[in-house]
Structure 1
Amino acid sequence: MDIPVIAIDGPSATGKGTLAASLAAHMGFHLLDSGSLYRILGVAVARAGLSLDETETIAQFARNLDIEFGLYGPGSVALDGEDISLIIRTDLGSDMASKVGAIPAAREALLDRQLAFRKSPGLVADGRDMGTVVFPDAIVKFFLTASTEARAERRYKQLLDKGIDAIFPSLLRELDLRDARDRSRSVSPMQPAEDAIVVDTTELNRSEVMAKVLECALAALEPNR
């Protein structure tokens, strides 16, 4: 059979990254954190001092990025040999990811990189357009959501735990702005696939979300085993 893909989409701070990593580990599947690719590209663009209007140059950057995952340990991300795992998780990384993600040429340039993650025995793909654009044939698709307040609170705690200063009202505004940008972009806008299972994580803890998604994923995979 075709290599199965489990697609997990949704806005930031809904818990999809943690869920995707846990689900992939549980099932022995490969993991694609597509958001990291856009964060890496965003940081590279910011460091190079490129204007967002230089779309073709940014697309070329995307095609030629020297990225290594796991070079400095599980979950680490290296760009040109430098560990940028923490840098891409800052506000700069998040903001620039959304901005470069709105550039059609950049999204096209990163598409092949994402498709290459599809390897046996299967893939859990985490992003914003995994189920709608990158893997429309995913065997099961999830779209995670949560209230903006709950998401801002989660992001606030994450940043403080990493020793990064954060201001809650600013995080709230930034999430609203990013959501609007991600939903309104002309190419691959963030939206649930028509056949996606929508999971509101506002009142759910990680274990509850995992249990719900795992049950649905196993049910979807069962007929193909």
Structure 2
Amino acid sequence: MTTAPSHRRPRGLAVWLIIAGVIGWIAAFALTLEKFHLLENPGSSASCDFSLLVQCGANLTSSQGAVFGFPNPLLGLAGWMAPFVVGAAILAGARFARWFWLAFWAGMAFAFGFVIWLISQSIFVLSTLCPWCMVTWLVTIPSFYAVTLHLFRAGVVPIGARGRATASTLMGWTPLLTILSYIVVAVIAQARLNWIAEVARLFGL
């Protein structure tokens, strides 16, 4: 395979992609099991249903839970293998062609956009916070940021020397960008659903 425009092997990104892939796949697997349980036992509750607000069942049985005609978790089971494989390949010494990075980026962008849409549907339409869904949100957001900034700093996306330098600097701020994104979602959810009071109630606080 040809090498993307001069850049060193991104070991940090590779490790994160492996971690995110494992966590995301576990969440998708758990949701798939919950979906099977609900299909086999109509009228029952999912094990992650803790209250009307904190639950998985409403999300899994809604139209938003099967956007493409099949349960969304199946997308996760297949999709989260990609970051894991890419991360492992980088650590093994693989160097990918520009077209490969762009295709991978497109996949991450789709996942990010889909998650943003699901967050909006969960908060504003279903009025629920699905625990395993939120695990998926937690790993998708930083994964998209990290891949995007890497492609900018590596010159895979041609943005000029200054742009690459800026992306390289921002790469170190990915954790902060991620936390800020979490805060935005948390604030919106609090304003709409008052989740803090619900969590306090569940824990008897």
TM-score calculated relative to the size of structure 1: 0.30
Structure with greater helix share of residues: 2
